[in-house]
Amino acid sequence: MSTAELGAARRAGGVDVGLRDHMVGAYAIVGYGLVATAAAAWATSASPLMDVIVEPDGVTGTGWALLFAPLALLLFAAFAAPRSLAAMRSLYWTFAVLQGPGLALLLSAYA
């Protein structure tokens, strides 16, 4: 079977099944990342960690570190790009969870 015939067979009804499966998986991972970020934000805002991040006179050093940690992680990833799939996955999940405390800090300031 040639490549063209294989591609035509996979496009049952005008839909490329392989591409569809890939995109469904990618959107699922992004959705789980959003859930992890929301859970980390909720856990931060509902715990005594919020007292460590914010004081009555402003944001503490720990708060600033948590706020800029995702940016530092992205800069690290840009200049020292991980080569393996496991490293990229751990980088993604670390970024998703680190976004939570920063979002909790911003939401507490404006809520």
Closest CA to 36 of 87, 103, 85, 108: 103
Residue 81's pLDDT is what? 78
Residue 7's pLDDT is what? 60
Say which residues have a Cβ less than 8 Å from residue 106's Cβ, sequence separation at least 6.
67
Q: What are the pLDDT digits (tens) for 43-102?
A: 998 888 888 888 888 888 888 998 999 999 999 988 887 788 898 899 999 999 999 998
Q: What are the pLDDT digits (tens) for 10-56?
A: 555 677 888 899 999 999 999 999 999 999 999 998 888 888 888 88
